[in-house]
Structure 1
């Protein structure tokens, strides 16, 4: 198991240097018990964790599969999710809307996707099949944690900082006593920011990224490839990382100015290279949604492209009604209050009201 230790916090790096569909996980140690933050590292890492610890709780930063696919390996653990993402992991239709299936496929396509997922979930893959599947994790969450309130996780003070943009419910777990901020998918990679779901928002992403700089932390833990960086490194790299957004704007601006058709725009490698799309055609959905979010944002900021944007929606087959889908949060005191109180009495998970 490849990990780095910061006090009682183990940073467990995922397979393939935590490249998707894997991600970095935090393990909070409390004797023989442990709490996980996210659950996407890999089977070898989770086998090692299971041999050494009793995982009592798993706290998920958000609903994306690369961060949650492994929760089925810890059936005894309670699974916590943020207030916005609870419904996405308990309603197939909410998941389809938030992840962009409805935007890319329309209502009929979204409904068909839901039926396909339900059928797959009823016939789960055999244990030896290590494929990451929604059916293995859907419905697994049974607790909702609050944002911006102090929790005690494995005896460690923690605050779940709401950081929307990557998706609406995204959070950054902060451990003030150890100077650790899990920035997760503010991952500093050369790919740049990812905001290609229907519940993603470019401006919120930028605001949340800036917010992470205001946190009093010494160590910044990313979810993919870059590992743990210092405060100085994080500040410098974050600026370059956010500049990718402006470069995408400019690439689109120049393409439109030179007469690129809406059909051609979809293949301009704004997010994914042609070779990536050829290897995984499903990425085209995210490319279309990401470009659409850029174009609509640029129109709001003054670009005279209203008609062009409408033609792009048609060319990409996007249902505009579902491009921006945001939900009402499920209050923690409705789903998780009884659990929080019972866990306080057990001494496992405590919240200061």
Structure 2
């Protein structure tokens, strides 16, 4: 049983996972409290935190990255210092800055702006302070070390807590959906490098923001990381098969390689386009695909 009044909280030494509603399924997520002898830090204040409140007073908030579902709980902590990676800070400076991170088409951005404010309680935090990879937060007998792990966003970071033999992975979430690199500030190549970084982490407890809660044991983590990364290869294999006939980028968008055909999301085509562009560019560079007339591509 947790020392906090929080349904299904998970204690791991000096940290507590504040599990999100519906196992942290979007739009919810799993926040983390880390307690030292001098201060307490909250990591990624979720929508569940926004709805329930934080169970203890916190001295600082740190963010793995600036996306709408990782910041709703800030509405409960308007005067608490907040930190994120320098490369993501503009997302807290203004709503315009956040929208630039996503890079949505204008025809859907207006509705998403309203959703971020109304459903995720977005309010600018121009007072945001920044960190970079390698920085440490000393809480007193407990340390949080920042590891820059871009790809999902430019500033996406993961947090190592050695005293708990734990690492918080943010949106390297190890789900069957696979890595998400479908925004303007996302990068397939950087995401793959970050997955390699994760393989080198010496920990026993692996915490994700969505779904998984805590994976215990490095062997199990590496197995799940392998399956997560394989989704990238599966997407490319399906694209190569689809490109046995000449196809345009928009053909790839319509076919869908990220979302299933029945999924109805306003931004689905935008995500498919951004992901397909990255895969096509790579496969053209390495010779698996070539461009042909009429802006089409074909497998080699």
TM-score bucket (shorter structure): 0.7 to 0.9
After TM superposition, list the pairs within 5 Å mapping 1:66-215 onto structure 2.
Answer: 66-101=69-104, 105=105, 109=106, 113=109, 117=113, 125=118, 131-133=119-121, 136-139=122-125, 142-153=128-139, 155-215=141-201
What is the deviation of 1:311?
Answer: 5.5
- Shift of the 154–42 alpha-carbon distance from structure 1 to 2, 3 Å rule, reads farther
Q: Distance in 2 between matches of 1:288 and 1:311?
A: 14
Q: Contact 2:246–2:296 at 8 Å: present in 1 too?
A: no
- Shift of the 266–159 alpha-carbon distance from structure 1 to 2, 3 Å rule, reads same
Q: Distance in 2 between matches of 1:54 and 1:221?
A: 22
Higher helix share: 1
Which structure is richer in relative contact order (CA contacts within 8 A, separation 6 or more)? 1
**TM-score, normalised by the number of residues in structure 1:** 0.74
Query: Where does residue 61 of structure 1 map in the other structure?
Result: 64
Q: Contact 1:93–1:114 at 8 Å: present in 2 too?
A: no
Compare 189-198 and 262-271 and name the one that shifted more: 262-271
Q: Distance in 2 between matches of 1:96 and 1:180?
A: 32
After TM superposition, list the pairs within 5 Å mapping 1:326-341 onto structure 2.
Answer: none
Query: Where does residue 221 of structure 2 map in the other structure?
Result: 234
Query: Where does residue 271 of structure 2 map in the other structure?
Result: 286
Query: Where does residue 42 of structure 1 map in the other structure?
Result: 48
In structure 2, list runs of 5 or more residues that go unmatched. 1-6
Question: Number of residues paired by the alignment?
Answer: 289
Q: Quick check: 1:12 aligned with 2:15?
A: no
Query: Where does residue 325 of structure 1 map in the other structure?
Result: none
**TM-score, normalised by the number of residues in structure 2:** 0.86
Q: Contact 1:12–1:45 at 8 Å: present in 2 too?
A: no
In structure 1, list runs of 5 or more residues that go unmatched. 126-130, 313-353
Q: Contact 1:13–1:41 at 8 Å: present in 2 too?
A: no
Q: Contact 2:206–2:214 at 8 Å: present in 1 too?
A: yes
RMSD of Structure 2 on Structure 1 (CA): 2.8
- Shift of the 88–223 alpha-carbon distance from structure 1 to 2, 3 Å rule, reads same
1:260-317 residue CA offsets vs partner (Å, 9 max, x unmatched):
454332122311112212xx222221122111111112112223433579459xxxxx
Query: Where does residue 282 of structure 2 map in the other structure?
Result: 297
What is the deviation of 1:34?
Answer: 3.0
